[in-house]
Structure formats: C-alpha cells, structure tokens
Amino acid sequence: MATFILLLLMSIFSTFIHAIPTSTSQGISRRSVTVDLPRNPAYAPNGPRQYSRALKKWGVAVPGDVDDVTNSFRGGETGDVNAASIMGDREYLSRVGFGTPFQYLNVDLDTGSADVWVYSSETKVEEPREDIFVVEKSSTAKLLNGTTWMITYADSSYAWGHAFHDSIDIGGIPLHNAVVQSAVAVSHSLSADKDIDGIFGMAYKLHSQVIPKQPTVLETLQAHLDKPLFTADLKYRSDEGAYTFGYIDSDRHIDEIKYTALLPNSTFWEFNLTGVHVAGQNIWYLQNWRVIADTGTTFMLLSPDVVDMYYSSVPTSRQDRSLGGVWHFPCNTTLPDFELGLANGWVATVPGKYINYTVFEDMPGQCMGALQPFYSEDFGILGDIFLKAVYAVFDVAGGRIGFAHKDLDL
C-alpha cells in the first residue's frame, strides 16, 4: 500500500523526481567502501599515490613522508560552474562540455546518482532535441566496446545505451578519457523534459550502471582536484547558484562549515538527521532519520510522521488522497519555517517561503508543498528545497558532508 502511494506520487510528479535510482530503495546498489579503487586510465600517473594506495590496500601503514608526497601530487585544479534554476526551481542545470572540441550541454548535476549520461546523436527520440552530444563530431570519442548501461529512476523512468571514453570540461577542469554514457533510448517521461540534455551523477561511492564496471566521473574528477571535494550553492528562483570543484568559496557562506560523517558504508551522501522543528512551536521532535542530500530531486521528502507534524501547524493544509497523498494549501497561506538539526548541533532553517512550491494547474488557488512524505522505511531525501537554504560541501575524500549558513534572498 505504502509503495503504491509512493509510486502514484512519483508518477504524478515524475518530472520532479528523477534522481535516486530505484535500486537504492532495494539496497541493491549498496556496496562496501574500500580504498581499493578500480583501475582508472584517466588518473594522471602518480607513483607515490599508487604506492600509498597499494600499501593501504594490503594493510601496511603508510610512512608519513609518502603521504605528504602524495598530497603534494594532487591535481591542484579548481573550477566552478553555474547552477541555473529551471522552471521555478524544478531543477538546476549547469553547462558541461563533452568531446573534442567541447560540445556544451545543460546537464543536471545529481548527487543522488552515479551515471553521467547525455542525449546524443545515437539517441532515438520521438521529437528532435536541440542540444545533443554529436559523437561523430568529437575527435576523441572512443567507444568502450561491449559496454552497456541501463538506469531506472524511482519514478520508473529509464534510459539505456553504451559508453565512450571522451573528454569532459566540468567547471573549466578538463578530464580526459572520462566515461561518457551515450543514451540510445530514453523513456518518454524523461525525454519530455526538454531543458535537460543529460544527467551528471555525483553520488558519493555509488558505481555507475555501466557493465562491465567503469570508474565514475567523480572518481576521475577527484584525482584532479586541489581539495578532493565539491560544493553546492543552489539559489531560490535564480541562476546565480553554483557548484565549485576542488575548493570552498568563502564568499558563498557566512559562517563556519560544520561537518557530519556520512553513514558507514553508504554509497550516497547519506547522514543522520537528528531533529526537526516547526518555527513558532515549543517542541523539537528528536529522532535519527537517515537522509540523502540529493541535488537531483526537487523536493524534501521525509517520513510521513514528520511531514504530518509540519502540516499540522498549517490549519489550511490538506493531504489529498486522490493525488497520492500530496499535501497542499491555499496559495495565500503563509507557511512556517522548518528547522532541521544534525548531531553536531548544526541547524538548517528552510524558509516557509521555499516550502510553498507551486500552484496546482488543476486546482487554482491551491499550492503544493515542497515538503512531502516519502514512504520508505529507510531514509528520506533532502533535495533542492533543503539545499538552496544552505551552503553544502561534499567532501569526497573525507567521507563527510559539511553545511554552513548563507545569505538567503527572502
């Protein structure tokens, strides 16, 4: 029953939720984290690092100076790319180049999946698309013979194709021999979104769906970065947001970054949320909820009891069973801010204004909440609605996620 409602919710708003591959909820993609990275032809040759990796793999302590040398051999590169709000923050798109010379496409940087795929000259679509990766125009495209991939997202939309080695320009950082997945077929529910030219997965340690297994673009990128991290500063109804790679942009946050460890063995940017609070109420609701920070999901999706608790403070709100359990309210309702606390004491405030997501087409005067229930026993999703209220640091090497406050345009 719960699954049924979830699927209904997902299908109604299918274009809004396309991150998080389905395998997540079944735990299929969960694999253990080890230091044994797959061999990656894109890594710049780095003897010291390979040595220290080999030592670590076999459980041998790494002498201090070797680790120091390793650090000084980091790629040293930094970059950034715009994150432009599309359709009232339905998604955020960034321009990323593929091939030689680079062909720039608008892709959705998605921390909730690990595949980097694009519409290409190989994609069979009903209606022609404006911007695609024309494989034939890239002098460096090299088919990875025998590779296939298929990704099914939580809303049962899907895409499949095969993979190339080719160059990528992400935020001005050139990656060579990165694994670029070219779509051969894409489900209508995905291709109906004409704004997105591809999805750029940046999940923590998740493998991509490419068979046989290939290094992810994030692994390839990580080796190039000055600091092995990237940051997200999504902005409310604005194209001034940005992702930075290899550095933290101190102009984009106003206080100290507080880090939280990712949950052990998680392949996602997953951590514990430890408390929630509705502004104006006396009580904090304390419990551990596993949540995944996901730039590729529009909404904040939390356990139904938390969501009920929030809307119980909004007397005009209503949960619509005929719409798969979606919460809505008259558009003139002023929503309270929602606070989320972490184990390290850090508290994020999601402004009530952000939770007023959009007006319903079929129900004029009724607005849909950006906080909605997620009928998973396991975890919740902190999508864009949360992320645009914070400055987020995705520390790949540190296995942690950091947050700071920033100036919100309210």
Residues that bind ligand NAG (CB under 6 A): 32, 145-146, 261, 263-265, 272, 288, 330-334, 343, 356, 358-359, 365, 367
Minimum distance from residue 157 beta carbon to ligand NAG (Å): 26
Q: How far is the CB of 35 from ligand NAG (least distance, A)?
A: 12
Q: Are 147 and 162 in contact (CB under 8 A)?
A: yes
Q: What minimum distance in Å lies between the beta carbon of 262 and ligand NAG?
A: 8
**Residue with smaller CB distance to ligand NAG, 28 or 254:** 28
d(CA 352, CA 281): 14
CB 312 within 8 A of CB 304: no
Q: Do the beta carbons of residue 258 and residue 402 sit within 8 Å?
A: yes
Asked whether the bond before 101 is cis by omega within 30 degrees of 0, the reply is: yes
Known active-site residue 110: yes
Nearest residue (CB) to ligand NAG, 127 versus 361: 361
Position of minimal CB gap to ligand NAG: 288
The residues with which 276 forms a beta bridge, in sequence order, are 285, 340
Catalytic position from the list 89, 294, 384, 395: 294
Give the shortest CB-18-to-ligand NAG separation in angstroms: 22
The secondary structure of the chain in percent helix, strand, coil, rounded to multiples of 5, reads 20, 35, 45
The values of phi and psi at residue 178, to 5°, are -80, 160
User: Between residues 96 and 348, which has the closer beta carbon with respect to ligand NAG?
Assistant: 348
Q: How far is the CB of 218 from ligand NAG (least distance, A)?
A: 20
Report the amino acid identity of residue 161: G
- When the beta carbons of 125 and 359 are compared against ligand NAG, the nearer one is 359
Catalytic residue among 110, 155, 169, 197: 110
The residues, any chain, with a CB within 8 Å of residue 143's CB and separated by 6 or more, are: 162, 163, 164
Q: Which is nearer to ligand NAG, 121 or 288 (CB)?
A: 288
CA-closest candidate to residue 205, choices 407, 408, 401: 401
Positions marked catalytic: 110, 294
